[in-house]
Structure 1
Amino acid sequence: MELKDKSSASQTQDESENEPGSEKPPTRRASVVSHWWEISQSETPHFERIKKYVAFNLFFFSLFILVEKLSSGLPIADIYLRLYDLTLPLMTALLVFYRRKSLPVLTLLVFYSIYAHPVVQSLATVSAWCAALISSRLYFNATGKRGSVSFGRSRLTIHRIGWLVCVNTLVYTLIHWWLLLQLRLLPAANADLFSVPTLVNMQWMMTSCITGVPFCYLLLRSVYKPAWFVSYLKHIKMLVVFGPRKAYLLTWIGLLGGIMFCLISSENDALIFTDYSLLWLLPVMLWGTICIGHALISPVWVLMLFLLSDYVDNYISVGKSITVENYLGHLAFSSSMIFIFSLTIVIVGVQSARVRTYIRHLKRMSLSEPNTGLPNMQALKKDIIHSPDSGLCMIQCPELNTLTQTHGIAFRFEFVKALAAFIRPLMRENEEIYYTPGYGVLLRLNKVDAYIINTYFKAISSFRFTWAEMEIGLNLGLSYMPLNSCVNELSSIIGHLNASTFISLQQGKPVAFNSVIPGDNVVSPGAIRHMLQKAIDRQSFMLVAQPVVSTRNKPHYYEILIRMKTMNNKLFFPDSFLPLAHDAGLLARIDMAVIEQTFRFMQLREASQPQSRFSINLTPQSLVKTDFLMRLRKLFTRYSIKPERITFEIIESDMIDSTTALKVLRQLRQSGCKIAIDDFGTGASSYSRLKNMEADILKIDGSFIRNIVNHEFDRHTVMSFCEAAKLKNMEVVAEFVESEEIKQMLTAMGVDWLQGYHTGKPVPVEDVVF
């Protein structure tokens, strides 16, 4: 805030004329005018600073004279008590704000006071001048350059109260008392430094400093920087508008006005019109400080202190006191109470402002993604409430996951920030970019249509990201949709938009997603996932069994199939919940639940159906579990089930080629269980897998069986499967046998087992008959 002089050293016109290539002015007169104009122009900023400095000092001088007029005093029996006085706070505030640049005007002020005022008042000004210089110097020694920042900083509160209030008041009191004592201007009743009048003066002066220094600093800064004062007024307006409700605010104003009326009213016969009412000021002012804000309450409290000091005789009347000593005792008590109130209001105000700052910071953090600084999902939900008719667009880059593993997590965040900076110029007012790790970049647009989205898609297709001297162009998928009434389903919608971006990548164009609000006949994936978890935990899958019939008069067996049943008897088939289970990593847990449910049923039917045999589907995910065999053996033992009665059907996949899976299958066969390869022919490299894998049964996928009568290719394919199975000493099961004609043809081919609606439909496991 200090003024720094700039020298106006610039090249003169004569020097510039000696430079090569410079043209001489046509006349001497024109040269002089041009020279004067350049000097005046170069010194204009310097002149402006001088004018601003002089105007500021004139304002301070005028303000000091006004403060002297407003300062309150009280003559009591040859004793003059100084009550609320802002002369010392004003000098201190100027030194804090302007530092050494304020010394000339302060010195001039002292000489003016000596010339224009009586000796006692001049001594008070000199004492205030000395105290302000000493306390401010000690204050800046303790705080350094931080000391000039605006009031309200909680880290400087202790220093300001200590140096600018306590030390300031103590130094002023000692110097003023010593000067009066030396000049024999001190009445005998007040000659003792530790007298009650001195205590009253000190307490009022501390009150003046703790409230007046920040108030005077506010006035000086407002004049020096009008733009800051405008922002301060806007801050006050926000405190009132977004503060307590109007009813509470009006109640507070009414209480405050009522208490002040009781204190300054001349009717002092009742108790409420005495200093008793001072006690009620603290809770009312504290409520205002906490709920409204210190920035507004602080100036209000200063105005109230002016009134309390001017009308002190109304609530502490000398006419009602028995003696002067009793009256001074009341003054000492009330002045100490007012100082404690002021100190409490300041400290609570600073701390509440600090808490508000932390809360605003936490709110900002809660609404932004910390690594990119972009608004997050919570901010999106908040903004959509205010703009429900906007549209949502998602940009996703699956390749980013691979590149992040290569270059580190910083690559992802820098990519997102670069993409956001690239997109932002394309966006309109009131549109925003959001990001949440795990999803792509989300755009909230005022409107989404084919033209706007195609513009964005073409732009991002040309986006290139620079990283470690590499320029990378990544394929980005884009999906979009209008929000309309889908605000409550935002999480689900974002998941669908994320899935649609992969379709966009495959098709090479933006994909529009039309959301469907879940109704009575549509169950959300979240609800299915919930039911699936309950079915696993409670082992409550609905077991159905479909017979597998022999073409060679062997006893048939049943394949166990699963369903999920809701409370309202709605059935869910495997194709509706197994993909969710796969994504959640729950397939192995489903296998164990179904195995245990089947074993429990077999134990219950042991007496009536001791030779029953069942086939249970086993996912490849179970085979790679390290504890699968141990848990399976425990189930065989617990339910007393012979392994020869169980066939495990393994879906053909690359996972069963692993060493662990092949070892588990080998041990299952050694224990007595049979192994069947399910859906054979649909997987890659089926014949090579059949060559390397040991199994007992080969189940041909129904896609080859369904059209075997009419399609020669399917018929020859099935025949080749049968020949390969015979070479491996494996039995063959044909699925989807849905007619007598298909049955006869498969029997003629030598297929061992038939399964389908023609040979037997799935029935609840409780209804199976052997």
Structure 2
Amino acid sequence: MILAEAKDDILLKRMMGPFCITVAFFFFQFLAESLTAQEHIADATIRFYDLTLPLISALLVLYRKKALPILGVFFLYSISCHPLSAKLTLTSQLMAALISQLLYYWNTGKRGAVSFGRSQLTPRRIGWLVCCNSLLYVIFHHWLQANFDPESATEIFTVQTLINLQWMMNSCITGIPFCYLLLRVCHKPAWGLQYLRHVKASVKSGPSILYQAIWWFLLLIIMYCLISNNINTLLFTDYSLLWLLPVMLWGTVRIGHALVAPVWVIILALLGNYIDGYISIANTLTNANHLHSLIISSTTIFIFSLTIVATGVISAHNRKYSQHVSRLYRSEPNTGLLNFQALSMDIDKHSAEALCLIRCPELNELEQTYGVEFRFEFVKALSSYITGLLPCCDQVYYSPGHGIILRLNTLPDVPVFYRSLRVFRFQWKTSILGLNCGVAYTSDKRIIRNLSEAIKQLNINSYISLLHGRPLSLSPTVPGDNIVESGVIRDVLQQAIDRQSLMLMAQPIVSTVLSAQPVISVRGKIHYHEILIRLKTADDKLIFPDTFLPLARKGGLLPALDITVIEQTFRFMQSRKTSDPDCYFSINLTPESLYQTDFLDNVSTLFKKYSIAPHRIIFEIIESEILDNDNASDILRSLRNAGSKIAIDDFGTGSSSYDRLRILNADILKIDGSFIKNIIDDPFSYCAVKSFCEMAKLKNMEIVAEFVENEEIAQLLTEMGIDWLQGYHIGKPIPVEQAEL
């Protein structure tokens, strides 16, 4: 039963559509007949602005075959209810409309039913629906009169016929788009609302209210002069017609054809019905003079209509192209979102209560895995999700160098928004990913007005937000004196590499074997030092590796940084060749350096340049997949063969540690501090360290324990057989120049 009712509803809707259009067509036809004016001069009838043929043509353009039943009913109604002259006129109009529509459809196809105002179809519409339509109507009307009403028939090549032809062309060129608009609104009211929004946008983006008011005022004055029966003044004659064109052209170009076109239809209907106002028969001596004035005015009005339509189409095309160029200028090409330039323009134009920046650094790594399309699709999906979360958000912007930027009309509940953001999941092919984002925002108008500085500070705070796991509000005091911008860090790092001015720190590593027995790594020494690095800004702020190493990795500077550390260390050792000829240092190498094919040659060159014995250097590498790389393995093997020692740093944190311990060839094993600091209270850490020691001994490797913070840990590690201790209890990092070597 429910299915039957649903089918009945669908059938009812299908029936109501044609019924409503039929009612609308007859209603508009009644209005068209009421508005049509005609005058009998010299045994001929002249019809002025007539919307009947445009209405029939618009119905055929919009519905094609579906319009035939409606027109059939209309024809039968006209045959039964109208006098002979009206029957002949309507028959001529129907025949002309059907033939011209058939030719138009043959030339344009299905796309011919689209809305009027498209520049591609305008010449064809003027040719078939205006010129051909009007000419066919005049021919058919004369032929029908000659055959069915000989008494009213006249010669076809007369002034009256020319006037009728020009007024009919005038009716078609303006009336068909107008009737199309009315019928389509009746068929689909939503389209009518869209049209009204388009008119509203055109008016809003046009000239100021004052200029538009002046335009309406001038239009009313001119029309008053044309339709008033005052024959004693020049302004109240067809002279005032000349002023219509510049006024209408200004409105078409500046306000828009969507508003001006219906206004022009109303004006033409008034000019057709009040023709005696500006061309009065009482003011002419003969019918010839009156006909002459009528033909001049009809030609002028048709040229005006043609000019206004052409100008409107060109203006609409130029406006659309200008908007397209503006969108390209204001949008990020890969995502289609508004760009930073658009944000800057909108901040100047509109007030913003708050700015919010959302940044996801993980995108950089995922882009390398999934490709660049991953980034753009993620940004589009996240921006769409954000738009649904924040109805108060006026616009979403995207800057590839920063992230997603929100311009907010009101500041939302940021913690709630942040929690919702963390719930977001992005599906890429078969993967569903949740990416953590840093969120920084500000509602300080002074900060927002300086947009470039605001984005810079929001960018810094977004990183801090990601580390802290909460949104961060930006105010003039939030960043603080201890925060150094990433751009400054990058500049200081580059200068330190170029000038070889890194700040070298040395942290002692002390042997637990106090006898004079030699050890594998440092030949009997009871201590050596690990080289650590710092950066120092111009205002003497210290920057630690956990801050500048990520920037160095992103900038591809790690190989250059490692070589700089090695050369500065070698230079220091050379300066102490007299006072400390037997000092030993441990230097960290990043995985990126071991991927470089020229790294070994550069290190060998430095050994020779500064006359440093290779056995005095220990190279530390992180236990990771780098050990499985053939080039890295070859470099480490060559360094060992030259006499240097290899230490595996942070052992225990990587994957498959035991397997690598079985196959790798190294001299020193450095156990990660996360195991050492909990060794007293955590049985698991104790067992792990003991296990590492036993297996290292099987490999004949010495063991270094990091993060030794107190005597109790040091004593326990000594009892376990650890060879070397490193940590704040043993000694803090100090400038290498101050270290006891």
Query: In which range does the TM-score fall when normalised by the shorter chain?
Result: 0.5 to 0.7
Q: Which runs of 5+ in 1 are unaligned?
A: 1-9, 11-39, 501-510
How is 1:337-356 mapped onto 2 (pairs within 5 angstroms)? 337-348=303-314, 351=317
Distance 1:96 1:130 in 2: 15
Q: 1:44 to 1:176 in 2, by over 3 A?
A: closer
**Secondary structure of the corresponding residue to residue 210 of structure 1:** helix
Q: Structure 1 300/263 Cα, relative in aligned 2: closer, same or farther at 3 Å?
A: same
SS for the counterpart of 2:647 is: strand
- SS of the residue corresponding to residue 506 of structure 2 reads strand
Structure 1's 590 and 80: CA in aligned 2 closer, same or farther, altered over 3 A?
Answer: farther
Superposed, 1:519-538 pairs within 5 Å as 519-523=479-483, 526-527=486-487, 530-531=490-491, 534-535=494-495, 538=498
Partners of 1:548 and 1:198 in 2: CA distance: 112
- Structure 2 distance, partners of 1:233, 1:688, is 73
Name the CA shift for 1:343/1:521 in 2 (closer, same or farther; >3 Å): same
538 and 309 in structure 1: CA distance in 2 versus 1, 3 angstrom threshold? farther
Deviation of the 1:657 alpha carbon = 3.3
CA contact (8 A) 1:697 1:731 kept: yes
Inter-partner Cα distance in structure 1 for 2:506 and 2:146? 115
1:644 to 592, 598, 613: 613
Equivalence map 1:292-371=2 (5 Å)? 292-307=255-270, 331=297, 334-335=300-301, 337-348=303-314, 351=317
**Equivalent position to 1:661, from 617, 632, 640:** 632
2:588 aligns to what? 618
Separation in structure 2 between the aligned mates of residue 750 and residue 482 of structure 1, nearest angstrom: 47
Task: Say which of 153, 173, 183 aligns to 1:210.
Answer: 173
> For residues 50-97 of structure 1, what are the alpha-carbon distances to aligned partners after superposition, in whole Å with 9 as ceiling and x for unaligned?
97577445414422321323x6x696x888765543232123224445
Q: Residue in 2 aligned with 1:67?
A: 35
Amino acid at match of 2:56: M
**Pairing 1:546–2:506 present:** yes
CA–CA separation in structure 1 for the residues paired with 2:31 and 2:645: 100
The answer to whether the Cα contact below 8 Å between 2:252 and 2:312 also exists between their aligned partners in 1 is no
1:481-500 alignment runs, 5 A limit: 485=443
> Structure 1 residues 496, 312: closer, same or farther in 2, change over 3 A?
farther
Q: Does 1:762 align with 2:731?
A: no
Query: CA–CA distance in 2 between the matches of 1:42 and 1:649?
Result: 81
Q: 1:247 to 1:529 in 2, by over 3 A?
A: farther
Deviation of the 1:628 alpha carbon = 3.9
Query: What's the secondary structure of 1:284's corresponding residue?
Result: helix
**1:212 Cα deviation from its structure 2 partner:** 0.3
AA aligned to 1:342 is: I
Q: Which of 636, 644, 647 is residue 674 of structure 1 equivalent to?
A: 644
Q: Which residue of 2 aligns with 1:134?
A: 99
Corresponding position of 1:568: 539
DSSP-derived class of the 2:179 partner: helix
Return the letter of the residue paired with 1:211: T
Q: Secondary structure at the match of 1:649?
A: strand
Q: How many residues align?
A: 662
Q: Do the aligned partners of 1:165 and 1:209 also contact (CA within 8 Å) in 2? A: yes
Alignment of 1:3-152 (within 5 A): 55-56=23-24, 58-69=26-37, 83-97=48-62, 99-108=67-76, 110-111=78-79, 115=83, 124-142=89-107, 150-151=115-116
Inter-partner Cα distance in structure 1 for 2:243 and 2:265: 18
Structure 2: segments with no counterpart, 5+ residues:
449-453, 517-523, 680-684
CA contact (8 A) 1:169 1:205 kept: yes
Distance 1:45 1:485 in 2: 52
Please state if 1:577 is matched with 2:537.
no
**C-alpha deviations, 1:316-370, integer Å up to 9, x for none?**
999899x969968854763453143133145236636866997999999979979
Q: Does the CA contact (< 8 Å) of 1:479 and 1:512 recur in 2? A: no
Q: What is the alpha-carbon distance in structure 2 between the residues aligned to residue 568 and residue 475 of structure 1?
A: 42
- Counterpart residue identity of residue 295, structure 1: A
Kindly provide the CA deviation profile for residues 169-212 of structure 1, in whole angstroms up to 9, marking residues without a partner as x: 23223334556778586777x736xx7x7666544433321210
- Contact 2:528 2:585 (8 Å CA) reproduced: yes
Change (3 A) 1:764 1:273: farther
User: Does the CA contact (< 8 Å) of 2:617 and 2:645 recur in 1?
Assistant: yes
- Identity, in percent, stands at 29
The whole-number CA distance in structure 1 between the counterparts of 2:244 and 2:355 is: 56
The 1-side partners of 2:306 and 2:354 are apart by: 55
C-alpha deviation, 1:140, in angstroms? 3.9
AA of the residue aligned to 1:521: D
Corresponding residue of 1:20 = none
Quote the Cα distance in structure 1 between the aligned partners of 2:76 and 2:139: 23
Distance across 2 between alignment mates of 1:512 and 1:707: 29
Find the counterpart in structure 2 of residue 33 from structure 1. none
Contact 1:544 1:763 in 2 (8 A): yes
Mapped contact 2:668–2:702 kept (Cα < 8 A) = yes
Question: 1:125/1:113 Cα in 2 relative to 1: closer, same or farther (>3 Å)?
Answer: farther
Q: Distance in 1 between matches of 2:247 and 2:100?
A: 30
Q: Sort the Cα spacing of 1:615 and 1:67 in 2 relative to 1 into closer, same or farther, 3 A.
A: farther
Instruction: Describe the superposition over 1:221-258 as per-residue Cα deviations: whole angstroms up to 9, x where unpaired.
Output: 44566676566546544554566553454455456556
Q: C-alpha separation between the residues in 2 aligned to 1:723 and 1:65?
A: 105
Structure-2 separation of matches of 1:277 and 1:303: 17
Aligned partners of 1:395 and 1:478 also within 8 Å: yes
**8 Å CA contact retained: 1:674, 1:695:** no
What is the Cα deviation at residue 100 of structure 1? 0.7
1:634 deviates by 8.3
Pairing of 1:474-513 with structure 2 (within 5 A): 485=443
Distance 1:83 1:736, change over 3 A: same
Structure 1: which amino acid aligns with 2:609? S
Distance 2:661 2:188 in 1: 86
CA contact under 8 A between 2:558 and 2:593: conserved in structure 1? no
**Hey, what's the Cα distance between the residues in 2 that align with 1:157 and 1:264?**
31
Matched letter for residue 90 of structure 1: L
Q: 1:641 to 1:696 in 2, by over 3 A?
A: farther
Amino acid at match of 1:65: E
1:215 positional shift: 1.0
Shift of 1:287: 2.0
Q: Is the 8 A contact 1:92 1:132 kept in 2?
A: yes
RMSD: 7.0
Residue type at the aligned position of 1:208: S
Rounded Cα–Cα distance in structure 1 between residues aligned with 2:54 and 2:305: 15
The change in CA–CA distance for 1:341 and 1:482 in structure 2 (over 3 A counts) is same
Instruction: Return closer, same or farther for 1:107/1:357 CA change in 2, 3 Å cut-off.
Output: farther
Provide the C-alpha distance between the structure 2 equivalents of 1:738 and 1:453, rounded to a whole number of angstroms: 41
User: What TM-score, normalized by structure 1, do the two folds share?
Assistant: 0.61
- The letter for the 1-side match of 2:101 is S
8 A contact 1:85–1:205 mirrored in 2:
yes
Distance in 1, matches of 2:660 and 2:12, equals: 91
2:682 equivalent in structure 1:
none
Matched residue SS, 1:666: helix
Aligned match of 1:627? 597
Match of 2:138 in 1: 173
Contact 2:651 2:670 in 1 (8 A): no
